[in-house]
Structure 1
Amino acid sequence: MKNIQEQIHAIPPEMGVYVFYDQNQKTLYVGKSKCLRKRVQNYFRTPPTDPRPFIPHLQQEIHHIEYTLTDTEKEALLLEQQLIQQLKPKYNLLFRYENGQIYLRLNPNHPFPRLEICRQIQKDKKLYFGPYLSRSDVRKILDIAKKYFLLRTCTNQEFRQRKYPCLQYQIQQCTAPCVGLENPKDYQKKVEEFLQLLKGQPHSLLQKLQDKMKLLAANLEFERAAKIRDAIASIQKLQEQQKVVLNSHKDLDIFAHATSPKGIALHVFYVRYGKILSAENIFCATQEKISTFLEAYLGHYYCKNVFVPEEILVDVLPASTLGLKALLKEKKGKSVPILCPKRGVKKQLIELCAKNASAQLQTMEKQYHSTVSTLEDLQRLLGLQNFPFRMEAYDISCIQGQHAVGAMITFELGKPLKNLYRHYKIRTVSQANDFAMIAEVLQRRLRSASTLELPNLIVIDGGKGQLNAALKVLENYAIQGVDIIALAKARKKHHNSSCLERVFLPNHPTPIPLQEGLETTHLLQRLRDEAHRFALAYHRMLRDRAKK
């Protein structure tokens, strides 16, 4: 502790970003502050003044402190988020999970633009719509675009290389603009009509469709009239899901919270063109002040490539907004006010958002603590030395050694961290040898241990042979303190009987059978099945590519 106090005394009382490391040079935590020395001192007060539950563990693990001075809050905010994404600190838990937002993108400069899905907004001249949190909503929109507006679905490369109309043209879900069977002006007219739908202004479009349907019915073209009728029904159903909340066509992001002794629930409304497009719930097991929590969350969220609205509404103002406002102004090209409305329609929206946060808090708390309880049960059941906060699962996929691939997936607190999923194309094994393939994949994973934090538990899909191959790799790399198991699929012994899933442990001669129906069993199965899905998808992609 004396060494730590000397390091703290050497930190200047200025604005910047601090990083805590353990004795193995692993990053523990990244933060920012207007006064670095005062902020870092708060972590070591006795008794602790910081209520966050991980602080006692953090105090014990800190070995040395590094810092970087910045001139403005905006620079500190950007540097903090950059270091969090780069170093993956152990205790920056709030920012480890992706929010899973989906955007629809359309390039208006292309003579025949295509509607496509993307995860981030780029600085280009394309149009973006969203965010959508439900893939089913996105599928419905894409389905309407293809079936009723006949917008192309092929990639730009396929579009350029096409010489003959594809199957979509044959089934009357595309007009084959790729081979010159549609005029660009007619296609652009369809695109403009469809954009009315995405912008929440479908009234004139619906009127045109209804007039066209009546005209076709009058001319006894009932099949075409029925198709337009179905389009009208699909558009109306989609619009019913989007509640009108503003008379204007403003874009707003609305944040409101609910708290309990166990954590904070944050509810978000994404309002686009005056309608609630989607909503999201976030739960964090923390006792931070809501103003501090909101400052950190908003800074992290808007540092990513997401849509920046015209206004941001909150029920409590963040502890500091200078850096955030500067960031928003740079990304939007103009000032974006952060408001805490006290009356009127916007106040009603905040109250509605807060009501949803309160309703979700109990459910989200229950889910969080149920997950923790399941992980504790798993630790006791398997005799693990670590609480399995972070788990990695590995699987191999190949057919007789051909197009062999490995996959690694990561779960934290029972949730998938898809930004840490990894594919491995097998390089050193030419024959069907599952043991050697597992060894190669694990070796390549451990080479990146300096940049990618090691898990608490490694799960190998397989039996004792795969486990021994993985153990040998861990021994060669002198990896200690990481639990490892192998999960073998259940096998049918006889026609009417089956044996349970089995877990193989190091230095245990017999496997542990997993009882069906338990949450611990379901968690391991979900982990194993996700690794299998991810590996199989990559294997199929390579196999299909080789056929072309």
Structure 2
Amino acid sequence: MTPPPDTRPAAAPEPADPRALARQVAGLPHLPGVYRYFAADGTLLYVGKARDLRKRVSSYFQKDHGGTRTGHMVSRIARLETTVTRSEAEALLLENNLIKTQQPRYNILFRDDKSYPYLKLTTGHAFPRMVYFRGAMDRRHSYFGPYPSAWAVKESIAVLQKVFQLRTCEDSVFANRSRPCLLHQIHRCSAPCVGHITAAAYAADVDAATRFLRGEHDGVLKDLQARMQDLAEQLRFEEAAAVRNQIGALSRVLHQQSMEVGGDQDADILAVVMQGGRACVNLAMVRGGRHLGDRAYFPSHVQWAEAVDVGAADAWPAAPQAAAESGLARAGADEQGGTPAAPPSTQPALQAVLDAFVAQHYLDLPLPPVLVTNVPIDAELVAALQEHTGQRCVAVPNPRGTRRSWLDMAVQGAQLALARLLAEEGAQHHRTRALVEALALEIEDLDALRIECFDVSHTAGEATQASCVVFQHHAMQSAQYRRYRIDGVTPGDDYAAMRQVLTRRYAKLAEDADARLPDLVLIDGGRGQIAAAREVFEELGLDIGRLVGVEKGEGRKVGLEELVFADGRPKVALPPDSPALLLVAQIRDEAHRFAITGMRAQRARTRTGGSKLEDIPGIGPKRRANLLSRFGGVRGVASASVEDLMTVDGISRDLAQTIYAALH
């Protein structure tokens, strides 16, 4: 059993005393671990990892950083805490867990939304199915990826359909077919459901598709050619013609693939650029010998990149030696025709951003065999990731040849994405300022402006849902969105629904003197909805000056909306091209979208009886999805016998009997 980590919190009663910090730093061990800096008010400032805690932490306090960002952070440190780990890989894991959960102000942060799609082959079936997949993996099946986008997965599925004609239909559909579907007619499926292909021949196609996805293009072509020749010699000309068509389709696909991969089958290309106080990391993926596209990431807190990399200059001279010890320097030397060069002195911030991305990104995802980058990655970081994942990885900064072409494309993509982001942010800043001026809001810090918008949605009173969306920092904050299921009101009474959702949202906040209330509350509706909202705010003792209704204009045309105020001010009709009105419409439309999607989902659950399955003990989302997929809906589940229910993954006899009893 792994022993609990050794946590050493600051024990001094007056942590702001520099002498107390010095004594604590002097007492730190020469061991790997994680350190955390706190301000006097308890705010977490920074989280970092170290191979040697004493050396790393003391580097912050051994010189005067002056008025730099590093100096600003160090001047705020009131106390520190450290956690000793057994290895640097454990320190890396702990550091990034803390960064994701605590979001320190001086750490470079990337959004934790790395839910990548995969291509899945259901190998547990006699005739495996290929399907788009996103979620937790099941070891019983084969997965290929990750892919940067859903489009990349679907494009790969389309290629496999053209070449190998593997099936994509649900198992429940496959088991009940009596004649081939349209996909067979257009030569996208070999129709195993009705016996148009033998299990052995289908298995050969699955094996060829698997090898194709792994990048063995030449081997697959040679095997297909040998198979066609063998069939021809056996005078099985129709089957030989089918294989010939496969060879032709595969050749066309390979000819259309513009990205040449060289000797690498899997690689990630990382390009980082900075401009205007923002940064972009563009990740391009090569999987199975095919370039699958890219995805851009925009980190937060980039302005503190200098503070993140304190002491990095001292670490770089030793980096080539560390890389050689881990087997990485040789690969870099082979690529560039020499030893890896030290990073340019003008690129410490770029390296800090890229190191933060690599550390936070690859802890939960497979580490590719090759990382191609435009700035060097810390060799110790790569070694720690290898130890954590158990996978070997070669970091190649500033390559040549084919890899240089990949990298140039990734850099160009990063520059374009960053330019687009800066343009959009500039427009959003302009809209925010215009709204503050149009409504005469007393807001000094536009970045801190918080707007909450409410909408109610239902279908003739059925499945009423209310939404609350949040706008802050010049962008919609989707992680703070909330849905409210409205109960206990007359169906179709929007005013009562609005009163209920506002009461549920602000009742507790009104009682908390330290609660952060929004600067502006938008209500999708006119005088009636605003009157209902005003009643709630007056009952809770909140400022009704925060309430603004968005009333649809004449003919309910977009751009003719008017703003209605709860405090009695006259209505305001902004020009259709007003930046303020565009922002209000953007927030209102997002609230409407969020409400109506929730309402439709609730209505579907009510009409299909999905909640009946969810209410059965032992039936969670995964088992419910398996049941609905296997039997085609709740009616199919209800008509199934206990023995039929037991054929579904995760359904035991006892649980099958429970389901049968509940549905009958």
Shorter-normalised TM-score: what interval? Answer: 0.7 to 0.9
* Secondary structure in 1 matching 2:585: helix
Moved more, 533-542 or 397-406: 533-542
Provide, for residues 478-523 of structure 1, a one-character-per-residue CA deviation record: whole Å limited to 9, x for no partner: 8899966443333418xxx887122344525333323223444334
Kindly indicate whether the alpha-carbon contact (under 8 Å) linking 2:266 and 2:369 is maintained by their aligned counterparts in 1: yes
Whichever residue aligns with residue 387 of structure 1, its letter is L
1:310 is aligned, of 369, 391, 394, to 369
Aligned to 2:575: 515
Superposition RMSD in Å: 5.1
Contact persistence 1:249–1:272 (CA under 8 A): no
AA partner of residue 383 (structure 2): K
Contact kept? 1:405, 1:424, Cα under 8 Å: yes
CA distance in 2, matches of 1:334, 1:258: 28
- Which residue identity does 1:292 align to in structure 2? A
Matching residue's letter, 1:492? G
Is this contact kept in 2: 1:33–1:39, CA < 8 A?
no
Are the equivalent residues in 2 in contact too, given 1:456–1:482 (CA < 8 A)?
no
2:83 pairs, out of 66, 69, 73, with 69
CA contact (8 A) 1:206 1:232 kept: no
The residue number in structure 2 matching 1:354 is: 411
**Native 8 Å contact 2:431 2:582 kept in 1:** no
TM-score (norm 2): 0.62
Displacement of 1:291: 1.9
| Distance in 2 separating the partners of 1:185 and 1:453 | 65
How do 1:135-214 residues align onto structure 2 when only pairs under 5 Å count? 135-143=150-158, 149=165, 151-154=167-170, 158=172, 164-165=176-177, 169=181, 172=184, 184-196=199-211, 198-200=213-215, 204=220
**How far off is 1:144 after superposition?**
5.4
**Structure-2 change in CA distance of 1:340 and 1:45 (3 Å):** closer
Per the alignment, residue 16 of structure 1 pairs with 34
Counterpart for residue 524 of structure 2: 461
Shift of the 404–121 alpha-carbon distance from structure 1 to 2, 3 Å rule, reads same
The CA distance in 1 between the partners of 2:373 and 2:132, in whole Å, is 29
Question: Of residues 2, 5, 30 in structure 1, which corresponds to 2:16?
Answer: 5
Residue 438 (structure 2) aligned to one of 381, 391, 396: 381
Alignment of 1:360-371 (within 5 A): 360-371=417-428
**2:39, 2:494 → 1: CA distance?**
37
Which SS does the other structure have where 2:433 is aligned?
Answer: helix
Bigger Cα displacement from structure 2, 166-175 vs 377-386: 166-175
TM-score by length of 1: 0.73
Work out which of the residue numbers 236, 248, 256 in structure 1 matches 2:271. 256
Of 175-184 and 134-143, the range deviating more from structure 2? 175-184
Q: Deviations over 1:387-431 (max 9, x none)?
A: 266655433221232112233445555555555544443344452
Preserved CA contact (<8 Å) 1:30 1:83: no
After superposition, residues 429-468 of structure 1 pair within 5 angstroms as: 429=489, 431-442=491-502, 458-467=521-530
Instruction: Give the aligned partner of residue 355 of structure 2.
Output: 295
Q: 1:264 to 1:447 in 2, by over 3 A?
A: same
Alignment of 1:537-548 (within 5 A): 537-548=597-608
SS in 2 for 1:47: coil
2:321 aligns to what?
Answer: none
The superposition leaves residues 44-67 of structure 1 with CA deviations (integer Å, 9 ceiling, x where unpaired) of 97634349xxx79x99xx898674
- In the aligned structure 1, how far is the partner of 2:38 from the partner of 2:385? 25
Unaligned runs of 5+ in 1: 216-220
Q: Report the counterpart of residue 329 of structure 1 in structure 2.
A: 387
In structure 2, how many angstroms separate the alpha carbons of the residues matched to 1:458 and 1:90?
Answer: 28
Q: Distance in 1 between matches of 2:14 and 2:539?
A: 34
Distance 2:540 2:139 in 1: 45
In the alignment, the residues of structure 1 paired with residue 96 and residue 159 of structure 2 have an alpha-carbon distance, to the nearest angstrom, of 38
1:392-431 pair list within 5 angstroms: 392-410=452-470, 413=473, 415=475, 418-429=478-489, 431=491
Distance in 2 between residues matched to 1:354 and 1:171, nearest whole Å: 40
Larger helix fraction of residues: 2
CA distance in 1: counterparts of 2:44 and 2:547, whole angstroms: 23
Sort the Cα spacing of 1:5 and 1:529 in 2 relative to 1 into closer, same or farther, 3 A: same
Q: Is the 8 A contact 2:466 2:483 kept in 1?
A: yes
Residues 9-58 of structure 1 deviation map (CA, whole Å, 9 limit, x = unaligned): 459435424375896x8x6755324458668879x97634349xxx79x9
Distance 1:415 1:408 in 2: 15
Partner SS state of residue 577, structure 2: coil
Pick from 56, 69, 92 the counterpart of residue 49 of structure 1: 69
* Structure having the larger proportion of residues in strand: 1
Q: What is the one-letter code of the residue matched to 1:47? A: G
Alignment check: 8 A CA contact 2:257 2:290 kept: no
Q: 1:206 and 1:140 mapped to 2: Cα distance? A: 24
**How far has the Cα of 1:309 moved from its partner?**
0.5
Task: Please point out which of 456, 473, 492 is paired with 2:555.
Answer: 492
How far off is 1:310 after superposition?
0.8
Instruction: Determine if contact 1:151/1:174 at 8 Å carries over to the other structure.
Output: yes
3-state SS of the aligned residue for 1:512?
coil
Structure 2 gaps of 5+ residues are 1-12, 233-237, 306-348, 609-664
Q: 1:502 aligns with which of 562, 572, 576?
A: 562
Amino acid at match of 1:330: H
Structure 2 CA distance for aligned equivalents of residues 387 and 436 of structure 1: 33
Distance 1:115 1:454 in 2: 49
Change (3 A) 1:440 1:98: farther
Give the structure 2 partner of residue 281 of structure 1.
296
Could you tell me whether the CA contact under 8 Å between 1:401 and 1:432 is conserved in 2?
Answer: yes
Aligned-pair identity in percent equals 24
The answer as to 2:131 corresponding to 1:116 is yes
Contact residue 49 and residue 92 of structure 2 kept, 8 A: no
Query: Secondary structure in 2 aligned to 1:98?
Result: coil
**Letter of the aligned partner of 1:164 in structure 2?**
N
